[in-house]
Structure 1
Amino acid sequence: MENALASGLFEDEGIVLISGTGMVAYGKNKFSETHKAGGLGYKEGDLGSAYDLGLKAIQAASRALDNRYDMTPFTKEVIETLRFNISNDVIDFMEVNRENRTFIASLAPIVTKHGDLGDEYAKEICDSAVDELVLAVCAVQRRLQFEHPQLVIVGTLGNDTHYFRNTLFSKLMVSMPELEVFSPKLEPNLAACNLSLNNSVFF
């Protein structure tokens, strides 16, 4: 989390939101007080993460298979990707793969793709995940009370998507109008080297 924070802000205070396979929001203020929100792991759900999107994609597929949802291009692609034929196939799949978090997270691009295309179920999943990410960022801000909050977003969901990213930025601005948002300027591992070499003082 420290490395990810340093990757975008090059200073000692601010907030980082990591949203990849997992998720966490973390901040440090000028008094070196820190706070973490989320980041409790996939068993808690990693709400707002790619794992979360993938798990909800599987749930949407199961609902389409038994007619709780309409069959849409989104649910059809998930079903075809996972080779489901009937709703009970989901039971066998989850028995084997529930803890295979990277595989479940790999379904997230299907969600974001169909969110971009306007699929109501995919958009609903994206919206729910964004709400969780905003909730985490706001939790860090409430605890650390930044006068001029700055946020660096690390991970594919917040940087390389369209509907998801735009919705995230929009909801962050509604909740924290004074927030400045940045993409990483360095890879976190390179930021870690800078932290080590410069004793947390950047050139």
Structure 2
Amino acid sequence: MKGRSIPLLAVDGGGTKCLAVFTDRQGKIEGTGRGGSCNYQTTGKEAAVDELVRAMKIAKEELGESPDETLRVECAVFGMAGLDTGYDRQIIEGLVREALSRAEIRADRVVVENDGLAALLGATDGKPGVLLIAGTGSIVYGVNGQGRSARAGGWGYRVGDEGSAYWIGKQALTAILQTLDGRQGPTSLARRVLPYLDLRSEEELYNWVYSADYRVDTVAELSLLVSDSAREGDASSLRILEAAADELFYGGRAVIEKLGMTDTSFTLILQGGVLQNNEFVRSRLTKKLREFAPSCNLEEIKKEPIYGVIAQGLSLLP
């Protein structure tokens, strides 16, 4: 229908997938579209825009609109992975504007936030809480009873993401080469990692690390092999998982301290593949957090991140 106006476009632009939805003023979803990773730091700017456009055009079609016809929305809110600095904001806001233009969407108001904040709002329903995410990357977000927010981590795979699947996989590569040097004891990691990467020796592993085949998502997949080795009692793998849990705890502790929540009741939510699937890391982390902040209440995720984006967008509608 030409000239139609939609109240809200909400986009969860994550590092794994992109989800775009159109809603009415009550938050009822009327059109949904999905795409791939929107994190420009790992996929590149052009690919990030392509996935945003893909998701929004699919959502327009489900809404009953032609992908090539201009659609007006009153407010468009984007929760975007990779938004960590002022420089990132400049880049991502530019990508968002380009994606909206290519998707033929005209927004009266555009808001761009980090996807971690959106995930926190969706997970806690806006109540005081701390969200600790450890998937391919890692980050901690928190909000206290006064509405003040804080974060720790999320600095990306080059200088951060401690405790994440990528970080665990990277430690496995280091352990294999340190064992080759004789700097640490035997490990079963080489026996698992080399065949997984279709490599025959540690020397080939070294060459792979510095080749064009090296990918963040592939290294993150190695975290599963570390877990397998740890279950068999491999000392090196156990040390890696212990260190991962400790690094995640340091991030959680920093946020709790910043927000003055050490002695107050708040919701603690753990999200991401590492914390949902690795019982060793999850148990060690929760034990340390409960000792540090005894009044925290561990809860399961209530809503997906997109609902946090929607809630934020609805609050901004005129």
TM-score (norm 1): 0.87
Segments of 5+ residues of structure 2 without an aligned counterpart are 1-115
Question: Do the aligned residues in 1 keep the contact of 2:144 with 2:259 (CA within 8 Å)?
Answer: yes
* Cα deviation digits, residues 50-108 of structure 1 (max 9, x gap): 11001011112223344444444333101222244343323311112586211111111
The one of 175, 180, 202 aligned to 2:292: 175
Does 2:123 correspond to 1:8? yes
1:116-155 equivalences under 5 Å are 116-146=231-261, 147-155=264-272
Aligned partner of residue 178 in structure 2, secondary structure = helix
Question: Do the aligned residues in 2 keep the contact of 1:61 with 1:79 (CA within 8 Å)?
Answer: no
Segments of 5+ residues of structure 1 without an aligned counterpart are none
Query: Aligned partners of 1:66 and 1:84: how far apart in 2?
Result: 19
1:8-87 equivalences under 5 Å are 8-87=123-202
Whichever residue aligns with residue 222 of structure 2, its letter is L
Question: Do the aligned residues in 2 keep the contact of 1:116 with 1:162 (CA within 8 Å)?
Answer: no
* Cα deviation digits, residues 101-155 of structure 1 (max 9, x gap): 1111111111122223332111100111111110001101111012213211110
Q: Which has the higher strand share?
A: 2
Q: Which has the higher helix share?
A: 1
Which structure has the larger Rg over C-alpha atoms?
2
C-alpha deviation, 1:188, in angstroms: 1.3
Identity %: 28
**Number of corresponding residues:** 199
C-alpha deviation, 1:11, in angstroms: 2.4
Does 2:265 correspond to 1:158? no
Aligned partner of residue 43 in structure 1, secondary structure = helix
- Report the equivalent of 2:209: 94
CA gap 1:11/1:190 in 2 versus in 1, 3 angstroms: closer
Whichever residue aligns with residue 151 of structure 1, its letter is L
Query: Aligned partners of 1:129 and 1:23: how far apart in 2?
Result: 10
CA gap 1:5/1:98 in 2 versus in 1, 3 angstroms: farther
Q: Which of 168-177 and 53-62 deviates more?
A: 168-177
Query: Aligned partners of 1:100 and 1:76: how far apart in 2?
Result: 20
